[in-house]
Amino acid sequence: MASIVLPLASTSPSVVADNRKLVRIGGSCMPNVRGEKRRDFSFKSRSSGRITMAVAVNVSRFEGVTMAPPDPILGVSEAFRADTNDLKLNLGVGAYRTEELQPYVLNVVKKAEKLMLEKGENKEYLPIEGLAAFNKVTAELLLGAGNPVLQQGRVATVQGLSGTGSLRLAAAFIQRYFPDAKALISSPTWGNHKNIFNDARVPWSEYRYYEPKTVGLDFDGMISDIKAAPDGSFVVLHGCAHNPTGIDPTPEQWEKIADVIQEKNHIPFFDVAYQGFASGNLDEDASSVRSFVSRGLEVLIAQSYSKNLGLYAERIGAINVVCSSSDAAARVKSQLKRLARPMYSNPPVHGARIVANVVGDPSLFNEWKEEMELMAGRIKNVRQRLFDSLSQKDKSGKDWSFILRQIGMFSFTGLNKAQSDNMTNKWHVYMTKDGRISLAGLSLAKCEYLADAIIDSYHNVS
């Protein structure tokens, strides 16, 4: 006589039967309204009585949800933390480190926070558009305090959740009010740009930017692709220190890019994540944006203070829309607020107050500029040392000077995926698979080791 075998250890069978032995003669499985699967088994007893045993199997309503792949940038840090090798280097995430490879909190930020504590400011909700003092100083920092567009009230500024949140808010605005428009993004670009436009349901295509043969700018390809795009497209441009390549157009090239955008009636959309952090000079790093605005173009600009003030975790930034009139700016701002309300209601205050205090106080502002120069200078020194080490160690005659022509915290090494994998698997150097390394995570003491890893991967891995 066969005994009953329950299908799952976790099930809770409800059996309607007497104490006689049973034999299973059939079964079926049907879902019920609670998301459970009810397994109905028929049995026959010796006395020919027929009973049913019902087994409720708890099945998640989320069974169809697949596992997401790891983030290509943040996943690098997860792998780095799991590595126990003493030589390991994390050159994946764009976060500034000291020469001892430790996170750095700017002294001027500490002073601003101390002032905030002394004032005893409360934690009430901000308006949807953010802290007024922050919005004022951030637009002035970006465009120049005396810019006519500010004096004429033609800029709609809304505090956002750093650069990412500001870009996402602008993408939602594009989707709602320019539903037929396309975004143009550089090839390559920051990995999150595509995610942002995809999630906002804004169609996008790429324009040529990087030339592998020269490890430089494919300017002719860039111009050609912008010309070929449908009129009225949103052209996403990196204000300075292009991520991931570190390759920027020259001032003359920026003017030609603006010419084509103006001719095609495109709308430039700047992503400014490194103002002051790239060159060490706030005005120089904003020159591309200001040149477009001076032409009378309507422009979108997303800002971030993650890098230049080291406020990574505060998520502080802004979206600015330069309009042709103050009336248009007022209407644009109202709709940005309308979009922000169901997204996150209103932004956080702490980072906004830090920026407002630092930028709005002449003494703190000057101290900030000095610290930015030091941070930018350290990265420049590391860039130079890496170039020197590569040039001295590599006897093949390869020209590594492109490293010095790049700017900002990143260097695009020209290594492919297999070579980047070798950097990690053999040398414990963690980087993104497109060959980008963050020089902000490198120390002068580690440059020779990194040069050995790059030379080995470049020459010995096809």
Per-residue pLDDT tens over the stretch 215-246: 899 999 999 999 999 999 999 999 999 999 99
Checking DSSP bridges between strand 216-217 and strand 210-211, what pairing results, if any? antiparallel
CATH number of the 74-104+373-460 domain: 3.90.1150.10
Position 207: which residue type?
Y
pLDDT of residue 9: 44
Query: Which among 111, 218, 307, 400 is annotated as catalytic?
Result: 307
pLDDT of residue 15: 45
Residues of the chain with pLDDT under 50: 1-25, 29, 33
| Residue in 199, 208, 271, 209 with CA at minimum distance from that of residue 234 | 271
Burial class, 44, CB count within 10 angstroms (exposed 0-12 / middle 13-18 / buried 19+): middle
Domain borders along the chain are 12-58, 74-104+373-460, 127-360
pLDDT of residue 21: 44
Please name the fold of domain 127-360.
Answer: Aspartate Aminotransferase; domain 2 (3.40.640)
Element (DSSP H or E) covering residue 191: helix 191-199
Contact in structure between 142 and 302 (CB atoms under 8 Å): no
pLDDT of residue 445: 95
Per DSSP, 313 falls in state G
Predicted TM-score (pTM) of this structure: 0.85
Domain 74-104+373-460 matches domain 127-360 at the CATH topology level: no
pLDDT of residue 3: 46
Query: Which among 111, 190, 218, 368 is annotated as catalytic?
Result: 190
The Cα diameter of the chain in Å comes to: 98
Question: Residue 414: CB partners within 8 Å, gap ≥ 6?
Answer: 212, 215, 402, 435, 458
Question: Residue 38: CB partners within 8 Å, gap ≥ 6?
Answer: 29, 30, 31, 32, 54, 55, 56, 57
Q: Can you read off the two tokens belonging to residue 254?
A: 């920026």
Rounded to 5°, the CA angle 251-252-256 comes to: 115
Contact in structure between 403 and 387 (CB atoms under 8 Å): yes
Query: Which among 218, 225, 248, 271 is annotated as catalytic?
Result: 271
Q: Cα torsion at 101, 102, 107, 111 (round to 10°)?
A: 160
pLDDT of residue 39: 54
Q: Is 254 assigned a catalytic role?
A: no
Q: Is 307 assigned a catalytic role?
A: yes
> In Å, how far are 56, 187, 237, 245 from 207, measured between CA atoms?
55, 6, 11, 14
